[in-house]
Chain A
């Protein structure tokens, strides 16, 4: 059974730091991996999607990498800002139907001024 783990569960950093969030999964037979952001009391916003054949994806200050063989993905946030404070979740899919996702429990990030 696929299990997705995110470490650390919580992270607090000063503004301006570059930081890395980790995601690991137990079964390397994935179709793609997505990173999401969730603000308190809100829905999820999709940040990046990496297909299994890709190594990384970039969007602005965000860069996500994927090492399928070792079952790991990282989300790199450059020059963090207080507005980046949120919970970040990763999720993997085993099929072309991306709605069938297995989620990690998230990393709660706080960026203080």
Chain B
């Protein structure tokens, strides 16, 4: 099993550009989520999904969109990139009902 995969590993954007961060898991996990990690602020939840077709907002959803058309994929879209979105983004997944969270390796995003 590849676990949770994320692409790209690194990305540089200009202010106002849009892009999609890809996340896929091959463990048949029901739950998937996106976090961002910033120095001194820890990880914060952006969006999450409890199954295909079901998504909801986390703590810091503004400026981001998600969709979950399949169990395996959970892409994160930046609509109009801003310097405040410079961060490391982690995708995670888990089985329903309380199980260990599996994280992807992360995408380091810089917005100029």
Given the known A-B contacts A42-B105, A42-B106, A105-B40, are A32 and B92 also in contact in the complex, defined by CB atoms under 8 Å?
no
Instruction: Determine which of B41, B45, B99 lies in contact with A101 in the assembled complex, contact meaning CB atoms within 8 Å.
Output: B45
Q: Check if A46 is an interface residue, CB within 8 A of chain B.
A: yes
If over half of B's interface residues share one DSSP class (helix, strand or loop), that class is named, otherwise mixed; here it is strand
B48: chain A residues at CB < 8 Å are: 97, 99-100
Given A43-B90, A105-B40: A97 in contact with B31 (beta carbons within 8 A): yes
Nearest CB in chain B to that of A42: its residue:
B105
The reply to whether the CB of A28 lies closer than 8 angstroms to some CB of chain B is no
- Which residue, A36, A44, A45, A105, has most C-beta atoms of chain B within 10 A? A44
Query: Given A44-B90, A89-B43, A97-B48, A34 and B101 touching (CB < 8 A)?
Result: yes
| Residue total for B at the interface (Cβ-Cβ under 8 A) | 29
Evaluate contact between A105 and B33: CB separation under 8 angstroms. no
How far apart are B43's CB and chain A's nearest CB, in angstroms?
4
Given contacts A89-B42, A97-B50, A105-B41, contact A45 B103 (CB under 8 A): yes
Residues of B within 8 A of A97 (CB): 31, 48, 50, 96
Please, how many residues of chain A have a CB less than 8 angstroms from a CB on the other chain? Answer: 24
Task: List residues of chain A with CB within 8 A of the CB of B103.
Answer: 36, 43-46
Q: Is B61 an interface residue (CB 8 A)?
A: no
B75 to chain A, nearest CB (A): 16
A99-B100 contact, Cβ under 8 Å, with A42-B105, A43-B105:
no
9 shortest A-B CB distances, which residue pairs?
A99-B33, A46-B100, A43-B103, A103-B43, A44-B103, A103-B42, A105-B42, A99-B31, A43-B105
**Which residues of chain A are within 8 angstroms of B92 by Cβ–Cβ distance?**
44, 99
- Residues of the B chain whose Cβ atoms lie less than 8 Å from the Cβ of A4: 42
**Known A-B contacts A43-B106, A103-B42, A104-B42; A96 and B98 likewise in contact (beta carbons under 8 Å):** yes
Knowing A42-B105, A89-B42, A99-B94 are in contact, say whether A49-B99 is a contact too (CB < 8 A).
Answer: yes
Alpha-carbon gap, A96 to B101, bound state (A): 12
Query: B91: nearest residue on chain A (CB-CB)?
Result: A43
Q: List 27 A-B contacts (CB under 8 A).
A: A4-B42, A34-B100, A42-B106, A43-B4, A43-B103, A43-B105, A44-B43, A44-B90, A44-B101, A46-B102, A49-B98, A89-B43, A96-B98, A97-B48, A97-B96, A98-B31, A98-B94, A98-B98, A99-B45, A99-B92, A99-B93, A100-B48, A101-B43, A103-B44, A104-B42, A105-B40, A106-B42
